[in-house]
A = this chain, B = another copy of it.
Amino acid sequence: MTEQARHRVVIVGAGFGGLYAARALKRAPADVTLINGTNHHIFEPLIYQVAAGILSPGEVAVSVREVVRRQRNTEFVLGTVTDVDPSSRNVTVTASDGTTRRIEYDTLVVAAGATQSYFGHDEYATYAPGLKTIDDALEIRGRVFSAFEMAELATDRAEQQHWLTFAIVGAGPTGVEMAGQIAEIAHRTLPGQYRRIDPRQAHIVLLDAVDRVLPTFDPRLSAKAERRLRKIGVDVRLGARVVGLDELGVKVETVTGVESVEAMTKIWSAGVSGTGLAARLAEATGAPTDRAGRILVEPDLTVPGHPEIFVLGEAMSLDRLPGVAQVAIQGGRYAGRAIARRLKGGRASKPFSYFDKGNLAAVSRFFAIADLGRIRLSGTVGWLIWLGVHVWYLYGLRNKATVLLRWTISFLGRTRSEAVVTTQQVTARNALRQRASGT
């Protein structure tokens, strides 16, 4: 048994990193266990379109089981990895019903992503959800579309405007894309649908502490994106640091002092931090972490002193690489191949080197910016590149087909097909509101 037993690879997380690692192990002589907290893999770059009512959850979230179905050496386990023990080499998986089990590994791949960071103010989360999961996207969708309904029901002008004000904290790609979407909902989708309010009165405020939008892009592209945002009606406020946030709005500090933005709807896209699992792993291995709590890995993506533990994507910290899909994809592929090579008794891997294919962000309909190294594009050409790249990377022909049809409908027409607000959402939000107001 002992000598003959197959090498066991445990992969934590079925995001880009985890899935690409599993795929790279398809033909390896190993038993792969892929563990994820939900039943679906999320195509994160388009999750904001679920929040915006363009795409359905199934179009950006595919069944993990379906993806790894044909990969006979791979088993999917639904559950959350709540602990890791590097000395006896096992992880603890907690199922949704609270039961736990241990799964042993010979090699561990931690691709568990990151969580939304509120920079020490977790109490903001209730009022300003982030945009990392399908739950988040549906919650934000419910809040955005409900806000217009609440404005229509409001009895005075101030209350109306309070409901019609949207604050987005963080002007990275997600914040910019979400601000652009809310502007389009207000200016293209909803006008004519209300009798008491004009949805075009919506005030969309995009806040960031830094001095430009999309700071990971070339400054000239940031400037173009900002101009476009202003043109479609987004109030961009830079150099504005959030110092308070509650049910009713956001407090920001700027050079001129502290000011309030009274906004009933708030979205947080300002930063990420390592997961609890990363913290546990750091604690157990003594691995150093960066300020955000992500693990500082060796050049071959392993934990110092633990060549059997790889950390990928947003969970790792290496050379200040950004938390984008490409870093996770390439890291996953690198780790999977490195493990397969080791099993064949091959030579050690060369250090991981990230090939930056470029950055894309869609500001509005027909307008995206593309930072492709030496080539920098904006406007319609950038948007076509954005469209092509996203369709290319989407999982499966099926999703490519339905997403293309949705886009044809949304971009040529005015409607948002997926704008259902469920009763459960409304009930949960009101319970929250009542708790907050102490009634």
Residues on A close to B: CB < 8 A?
A: 37-40, 53, 56-59, 61, 63, 65-66, 69-70, 75-79, 95-99, 133-135, 138, 145-146, 149-150, 152-153, 190, 192-195, 398-399, 401-402, 405-406, 409, 413, 415-424, 426-428, 430, 433
Contact indicator B133/A423 (Cβ below 8 Å): yes
Taking CB atoms, residues of chain B closer than 8 Å to A417 are 58-59, 398-399, 402
Give the CA-CA distance A56 to B190 in the complex, in Å.
Answer: 21
Residue among A39, A415, A416 with max Cβ neighbours from chain B (10 Å): A39
Q: Please report the C-alpha to C-alpha distance between residue A397 and residue B38 in the assembled complex, in whole angstroms.
A: 34
Distance between Cα atoms of A150 and B40 in the complex (Å): 15
**Residue from B78, B97, B420 within 8 A of A152 (CB atoms):** B78
CA distance A241 to B63 in the complex (A): 37
Report chain B residues within 8 Å CB of A195.
75-76
The answer for the CA separation of A428 and B40 in the assembled complex, in Å, is 19
Alpha-carbon separation in the docked complex, A433 to B423 (Å): 21
* A409, B405: Cβ atoms closer than 8 Å: no
For the complex, give the distance between the alpha carbons of A399 and B413 in Å: 13
B430 contacts A66, CB within 8 Å?
A: no
Contacts of A146 in B (CB 8 A): 39, 96
Give every chain B residue within 8 A of A40 (Cβ-Cβ): 419-421
Are the CB atoms of A57 and B97 closer together than 8 Å? no
On whether the beta carbons of A424 and B99 are closer than 8 Å, the reply is no
Q: Name the contact of A405 in the complex, choosing from B99, B135, B402, B421 (C-beta under 8 A).
A: B402
Residues of B within 8 A of A401 (CB): 405, 409
In the bound assembly, the distance between CA atoms of A428 and B194 in angstroms comes to 34
Given contacts A37-B423, A63-B415, A398-B415, 9 further A-B contacts (CB under 8 A): A40-B421, A53-B58, A56-B57, A78-B153, A96-B146, A97-B150, A133-B423, A135-B423, A398-B417
